[in-house]
Every structure is written in structure tokens, then in C-alpha cells.
Structure 1
Amino acid sequence: MLADILAQLQKQATGGESGVAAAFELNWQSLEPEAQKLASLLSLFALAPIPWSLVESAASVSDLEFDLKANRTVLVERYLLQELAEDTYQVHERIRELLQQKLEELAQADELKRGYCQAMVAVAKDIPQTPTLIEFAEATLAIPHIEETATVYQPWLSDDDLISPFLGLSRFYKGQGAYEQALPWGEESLSATRERLGESHLNVASSLNNLAELFYLQGRYNDAEPLLIQALSMRKHLLGNEHPDVAESLNNLAVLYKLQGRYSDAKPLHIEALSMRKRLLGDEHPDVANSLNNLAVLYYSQGRYSDAELLYAEALSMTKSLLGDEHHDVAQSLNNLAELYK
């Protein structure tokens, strides 16, 4: 193990910690430039197992056009990289510190940091609202590295990408019902976007909307309402009254009112959201099915079972047609219809 090797170096070195640094320096100087660049890139990853596919993505974005696997073998042989399992690696904490110092000496340091961030953003964007077991397993190993992007390397995120790691992390935890773990990322998203982009920006509106959803999932309805109202107002101001994001805000506010038992407030918003989505997206769209389902939930809560049944059935048929029989939205529609029949 790499930790054992470091312990032996420390025991043998007369200079204590300086002996480890000296041994590392000798090792570093014997590396080819390509191996040095790869090692520097690896130092950006969190102190956690690293799927090699993430390294390949970051290297590709950073235009590292050399044999990654051959240089990976060199780093493993030089004890700068530890192989944990097939295509999964990790850098020891002390080695990572020394490699990060070398990274800062590279002319490409900023380019590597931006490439790392872009690769993690791509992974974060692929995390769905409700991850399946397979999607959850695929995303789990990437989570520490996305967290590193959202915190340590936030300055190297572009304005457009700034919100993405936070949204991905929030979706990951929210999809498991881990709302307490999701909440800090929702709060940090709002803080980071406001600080960099100002008070009136679409990504600020998205952060408001996401944080509000986390609040109402926790039953914190009074905390959620002003955020949803602010997000709706901001989206109308920035996008106009006819836009899918405006429809989303209307829908979310209606869902909150339904949860509060404010059915008369929820109904016109659900109907407006459904009508807008049909106009903008067409009669056959997952968001239209979502609105049909949410309006049916409202009717069910009001005891209007016949009206609810028609909408539930339409939403189920549309979801199956658009997403296939094996999808969590289909399962949700089946469950809602079964609950109505019960």
C-alpha cells in the first residue's frame, strides 16, 4: 500500500518530513513531461476513489493528447498513484499535496483546472431528478469529485456552469430522500450564483426554485413560498410570460399550495401551467404529463375522483408512450391511479 511505502520513507529519512519531500522530488524529476501532467491532473481529484473514466474525460477536455494508460502505469510503478480496483484509483493524501504544488508550477495549471471542472459539470448534468439504482451506483463514485468542483475549484467554473455542480449534487441526494444532505448544496447554489451573477439572473431563479423544492419536501412550506414567488417573478421579468420555465414556476407554486391545503389558490395555477405547457411544448410532452398528473392529484384531494381518474389515465398513457413502460414516472402514475381506485 502507498501509505506503507510513505511510512518506510519517513522511517528511513534522516530529515523527517523533508526526507519524504526529497524522495518525492527525485521521483518527480525522473518522470517524463506527459506523466508529470497526468499526475498534476490527478491531484485535482478529491481524496476518494477515482473512476478512470473521469480522468479520461478531464484529460480530453484539457487536450492532453498522449497515452494516458501508459503514463498511468508509470505513476503506479512510481508509487504516485494507487490502484484500488479495475479502473479505479486513488492518490495518497501526502502525495496529493506534493502534486498540487507541482501543478501550480505548470503553465497549464489553469487549463487543467478548467478541464477538470468541465468534466465534472458534464457528470453532474447527467444526474437525473430521480436516479434509478443503476444511475445512483454510477454517480456515487463521482460525487466527492463534483463536491470538490463546487467548493475548491468554483473560481474555475464558467458563469454558465456555475450552478451545475450544485444542482447535480442536490438531485443526487434529493433523489434518495436525503433532504438534509441536499439542503446545503441548494443554499450554496443560491449564495454562489447571487454573489457572481447578481440578484437578477436566470440561474439565481433556478437556485431559488431548487431550494424552495427542498424546503417543501421537508414540510417547510412557509420558507418555500417566498422563494417560489420570487423565482416566478424573476422568470417572468427575464423571459416574458410565455416560457417553459415560467410554466415550471407556476406548477411548483401550485404544488406548494396544494400541500398547504390551499386548493382554490392551487387550481388556477395548475390549469395555467398545463395550458402554457401544451401551447409551448405540444400536447405530447413529459412536462404536459407532469401537469396532468399534478392537476389530478389536486382533484383527488378535493374528492373529485371522476375528474382525477381521467387525468391520471391520460398522464399514464402519455408517459408510457413517451418514456416507455419501464420508467419511474410510469410507476408514479400507476401508483396514483391505484390509490384513486382504492
Structure 2
Amino acid sequence: MQWVEFLRQEAATHELSPEQTAAFLVRLQAENSGKSEAKLASDINISAAAFKKRMTEVYDKFAKSCPELATSKRGKLETLKAYLTTKYNGVDETQPKKEIQHNILQAVPWERFVGREAELQQLHEMIQKSQQVAIVAVAGMGGVGKTELATQYAQQNLQNYPGGVCWLSAPGIDVGIQILRFAEAKFKFIAPDDRELVDRVKLCWDRWDAGDVLLVFDDVTDYKTQVKPYLPANSSKFKVLLTTRLEFDRTLSQVSLRVLEPLAAMKLLKSLVDRERLKNEPWVARKICKFLGYLPLALELVGRYLDTMPDLSLQTLLKRLEKKRLEHEAMAEANPLMEYKYGVAEAFDLSWEQLDENAQGAGCWLSLYALADIPFNVEAIEDDELQEIWETAIADLLKLHLLQRQSQGIYRLHPLIRQYFQMKLDESSEADEVKTVFTAQMVEVTKQIPQQPTRDLIQQLTPLIPHLVEATDNLTAFIKDEDLIWAFTGLGWFYQGQGLYKEAEPFLLQCQQIIKHRYGSEHLYFATSLSNLATLYYAAGQYSKAESLYQKALELKISRLGTEHPRVATSYNDLAMKSLVDKLLVLFLSHAEAQRRILEVLSLSFVRRDRSPISNTS
């Protein structure tokens, strides 16, 4: 047994955490004996203080089996080395231990396996809990780290499975044949070839070495054909772990693997990119992690790419990622140094190919919504057949972890999944038609927004606002001419009606600019956009701006419609009202008598029982 493997077993035996194990392994390796703690801490991308703390925790755990650690005068490190060396020599020479047979995949170094400590513990507890065959599914979207979690679990818990760990690639050669080959290579057992494959596998289970056994079925796409026929008969010695993109029902114990937390994502990036380089652009590094949706595969690919481009700034890379997205070379191709053989889009392709046409279409449609919670009430679809199609499509997307369900009728897409679906939509010949229909539906919502929305309506519309904004920001070209002004005006009124004038202004300004670009500055739509913007400024108390825009709108309407048209009369009224308010304000601020008279009228109006408006003669 190699020294490093022995150390790993000791770490697992003494229940060291992944962080403690990383420090323990690097500290106890022979080639590191002359290095300082500060240097070793730097090698695994942690501070010297954190390294010292972890080693203190290691000494405390080993003190249970090595009491000398609590009393030794020659130093804890030397005491621990002596204890481990004696034990190692005893294992290898005087008490040789049978080697545990396995074919576990190569795992990433400890320092790059971050943010999964809780899942590792949960996985172990769930597998050990069952008295029968324990089947635990590590499910999740492509690139989330299912296989790596299973690999780390198998390696860290190898000593718990003296009967061996058999790793089976579900999409590869028939699983049954893989089992026979493992038994032949590791145990020299050859099953008779005069029987069916399933029966030959059963013979293998009967002749398997003593002790608990872990069977890992990696990347299961069809449980019925890839797993079920080859499961051992009920026996507590066999433990089964699946990795899959699928979502099974509640009868199967599952660990649903999600993306990393932001801090863990940054930690992974730091393990791949020079720390000083990240310190120079810390906020950009965080933005890159967020843009990548904290997906482990994307983070590792981008981190390795940055490491090969030492003079590339993080800001420049972020701009390129935002422009090229999944097609950028940092994410498009697998890194040859990685065990995982797919780029991000390729990883998603594996799930995409399992969807039928309806589910693929549903994913593309949902990608047009903003990167926010998507209110999508399938029950509101009136056509029963269409409703059932959507129900099945959403169920398929959820099953493959391509869509996240937040609550009843509320869904969300991962940022990179959304990019992937948008890419697939753009490859379709129906892309323009789909986008036109989508924007038309969004505009229908904005048409329902009055200039003074009620509190109930505001509450009802709030979840839809990010998606309405998405349509106006990125899909303007697909909004029909007659609907263009509604798209922006409705959003402006939503905020203006709440007194949020600064939030309303960008939409009405954008409306003015886009109308001018599409129709020119002589079109009546442009006049309307000027009037709407003027009304906002008027409400916000910016009267000079409002008057100027009202005047421009009036002049344009006169030139196009003449002086007798009702719309021209409306503009005259707007301008007159504005001038009247200015005059009243001047009087109110300048003349005490005017102030007294206005307050008197207002008071009389307030106390009148019929609450009718103030008469013109008052």
C-alpha cells in the first residue's frame, strides 16, 4: 500500500473533514517535510492561520488513538509522524492487510473539491442507513458535479467496503458485461458462458468477496434497463449508488445536487487561478462566478482557461463571455486535463437529446423570459389538449433538472441552461415567429396597465415586470409597430402610478428614442411619446421640462392633423393646465390673500356633505 493511500485511509478512519484531510495530506507527505506551514498553506490556497487551525483539529482527532499527542515534548507533528510511520510499517510488513479491490475514477485534488461537505455526509448516512440494498441517487443538471461527488465518496470511504468498489458506466458497454469483467480481473472469477447474462451476473454476486460492497452506476439514463436487471438479491452487504440527471419518485432515496454557493464557487476559482490575480479584480471574479451560475463544470473550465492566459484580464474575459456565451472557447470544449470529457454545451446536449419536441419547445419558450422567477400557470391554458402538452413538457424539464420549480406555478432557469435554450431557439427556423408571439403576449400585459394602477393590480403585476422589461430590452425588434408604444408606456405608468418617477423615466425616454428611430420625429407616435414623457415630468414637479415637451407635441400634432382635431385639443388642454398650475403656484407663494382664499375654498370643499368638486364660481 502506498503512503498516500495509507494517509487517506487514516484520515477517513479518524473522520477528518475534507478541509482537515487536505491539510493533513499535504503536511504528512514526505516531500513536504522541509516546507513551512505558510508555504504549504499557500500550496492549497488557504491562509497560514487557517492551515494551523486545521492541523490543530487533526492532532485533536488523532489524540484518541495516539495519546502521546497530548503529552509529547518533541512536537505534535513529529509525534504524529512517528505514530503513523510505525503503523504504516506494521500494516505493510508484519500484518499485511488484504488490498481492497476497486476501479474508482481519478478524483480531483482535495483543494478543488469544495462546497460539498454536507452532501458527502448526507450521502454516507443515507447509504449506511438501509439494511437492504441502499440505492441513493445523486441527481442534478449536467456539469453540477454528480460523478465527482460519487468519486470522492468512494475514495474517502474505501475502507468501509472491504468487499470492493465496482464502478459501472451506465451509458457504456452493457453493465452486466462490466460486472463480469470486474469479477474476472479483481477476483479471478469467470462465470460459465452457457447462461444468460443476468444469470451469470447473479453468480458473481454469490461468489463476491466477503465484506460490504459498493456498486456505483454512473450516469444512469434508463433505470429499467441499465440498473434493475443487475441489482444483487436483497443483502445488506451490497450498497448501490447511482448518479443520474433524472429525478426519481420518492420511493428512491436521493441527494439532489445543486450548484455551488457563491463562496464555494470563489474558492474553486481560487484553486485554479493565481490568488493575486483574483485579488486585483475581486468584483469581476464574483461577476464571472455569477454569470456562470456557480456551475462547477463551467467554473473549472473557465478557471483552467484563465490559468493558460496569464495576461488576460478578468474584465476582458467577462465581456467576451457575455458576448459569445456558451460558444466561447473557455466553455465550449472539454479540458484534456480534466476527467470530465464534455464542454458545458456538450454536457447540456446529453439532456437535450432525451427531450421530445414539445419539451424542447417549452425550454426554448421559457428561455425568452428574464433570469428571474417565471410565473407560468399551466392550469390557465383553456385548451385541454394544449394544457396537457405543457404539463408533460414541464414535467420532463423538471425530471432532467433543466428547470427548477420554486413553488406552485413558479419556475426558474439556471443562467447557462437559459443561454443554451436560447442558442437552440436561434438555431430553429421558427425562432422569429416564437419571439414575435412571446413579445405580443408581453405587450398584452402592458396594455392592461392604466396611468393610475390600483394597489391590487400593482401586486398582481410585480412578478411579471422583469419579463416585460426583458421584452423591451432585448426583443424590441419583434414587437409589432402598433404595439411598440404600449410596451414602454405601460412600464412607465406602472412606476409613475406609484410615485416612482426616477424608475419610470428610463422607459418613457427609451420609448421616445425607439419611436424616433423606427418612425422618425414627424410621426404621431413620436408626439404621443413626448406627451407621455411630459406627463411624467409634470407629475414629478419638473414643470419647465413638461411644458417644453407638451409644446413640441402640440406643434407636431398641428402640423400633421390641423388645428381642429380632437388630439390637438387634448394637447392644448395639457399645456393650459400646466400654465394654470404655474400661475396658481405663483399666487400661492407670493400673496397672502391668495393663500388665504385658496385654503378657505379647500376647507369649504372638504366639509361639504356631498363632497362634490369645487364649483367654477368659487
After TM superposition, the score normalised by the length of structure 1 is 0.71
Q: 1:143 to 1:102 in 2, by over 3 A?
A: same
Note the C-alpha offset of 1:159. 1.2
**Which residue among 47, 50, 60 is the counterpart of 2:371?**
47
In structure 2, how many angstroms separate the alpha carbons of the residues matched to 1:95 and 1:80? Answer: 7
The within-5 A match list for 1:262-281 is none
Moved more, 197-206 or 244-253: 244-253
In structure 2, how many angstroms separate the alpha carbons of the residues matched to 1:180 and 1:9? Answer: 39
Note the C-alpha offset of 1:260. 1.5
Q: Which has the higher contact order (CA 8 A, sep 6+)?
A: 1
In structure 2, how many angstroms separate the alpha carbons of the residues matched to 1:69 and 1:301? Answer: 67
The within-5 A match list for 1:1-342 is 4-7=257-260, 10=297, 14=338, 18-53=342-377, 67-261=389-583, 303=598
Does the CA contact (< 8 Å) of 2:403 and 2:412 recur in 1?
yes
Note the C-alpha offset of 1:103. 0.7
CA deviations on 1:158-186 (whole Å, 9 max, x unpaired) are 11111111101100000110000001111
Please identify the structure whose Cα radius of gyration is greater.
Answer: 2
SS class of match (1:260): helix
Note the C-alpha offset of 1:52. 0.6
Q: 1:86 to 1:336 in 2, by over 3 A?
A: farther
In structure 1, how many angstroms separate the alpha carbons of the residues matched to 2:379 and 2:523? Answer: 32
SS class of match (2:502): helix
Note the C-alpha offset of 1:300. 10
User: Which residue matches 1:323?
Assistant: none
Does the CA contact (< 8 Å) of 2:378 and 2:390 recur in 1?
no
Note the C-alpha offset of 1:224. 1.4
SS class of match (2:406): strand
Report the AA paired with residue 253 of structure 1: L
CA deviations on 1:190-227 (whole Å, 9 max, x unpaired) are 00000101111121111100111122222221111121
Report the AA paired with residue 155 of structure 1: A
Does the CA contact (< 8 Å) of 1:257 and 1:263 recur in 2?
no
Note the C-alpha offset of 1:236. 3.0
In structure 1, how many angstroms separate the alpha carbons of the residues matched to 2:390 and 2:596? Answer: 58
SS class of match (1:89): strand
Q: 1:141 to 1:16 in 2, by over 3 A?
A: farther
SS class of match (1:101): helix
Report the AA paired with residue 75 of structure 1: L
Q: 1:301 to 1:66 in 2, by over 3 A?
A: farther
SS class of match (1:161): helix
After TM superposition, the score normalised by the length of structure 2 is 0.41
Does the CA contact (< 8 Å) of 1:54 and 1:119 recur in 2?
no
CA deviations on 1:267-306 (whole Å, 9 max, x unpaired) are xxxxxxxxxxxxxxxxxxxxxxxxxxxxxxxx99985988
In structure 2, how many angstroms separate the alpha carbons of the residues matched to 1:246 and 1:233? Answer: 9
Note the C-alpha offset of 1:76. 1.2
CA deviations on 1:19-71 (whole Å, 9 max, x unpaired) are 432221010011111111111011110011111149978x99xxx89711221
Does the CA contact (< 8 Å) of 2:403 and 2:414 recur in 1?
yes
Does the CA contact (< 8 Å) of 1:6 and 1:20 recur in 2?
no
Report the AA paired with residue 106 of structure 1: S
In structure 2, how many angstroms separate the alpha carbons of the residues matched to 1:245 and 1:300? Answer: 35
Does the CA contact (< 8 Å) of 2:378 and 2:409 recur in 1?
no
Q: 1:16 to 1:228 in 2, by over 3 A?
A: farther
Note the C-alpha offset of 1:9. 6.2
Report the AA paired with residue 150 of structure 1: T
Note the C-alpha offset of 1:336. 6.5
Aligned-residue sequence identity (percent) comes to 34
Q: 1:336 to 1:91 in 2, by over 3 A?
A: farther
Where structure 2 has 5 or more consecutive residues not aligned to the other structure, the ranges are: 1-139, 145-256, 261-294, 302-333, 587-593
Moved more, 144-153 or 47-56: 47-56
In structure 1, how many angstroms separate the alpha carbons of the residues matched to 2:342 and 2:532? Answer: 48
In structure 1, how many angstroms separate the alpha carbons of the residues matched to 2:536 and 2:480? Answer: 25
Q: 1:28 to 1:52 in 2, by over 3 A?
A: same
Q: 1:253 to 1:17 in 2, by over 3 A?
A: farther
Report the AA paired with residue 27 of structure 1: S
Report the AA paired with residue 374 of structure 2: I
SS class of match (1:36): helix
Where structure 1 has 5 or more consecutive residues not aligned to the other structure, the ranges are: 265-298, 318-333
CA deviations on 1:202-258 (whole Å, 9 max, x unpaired) are 211111001111222222211111210111222233334444433332222122112
Note the C-alpha offset of 1:133. 1.4
Note the C-alpha offset of 1:74. 1.0
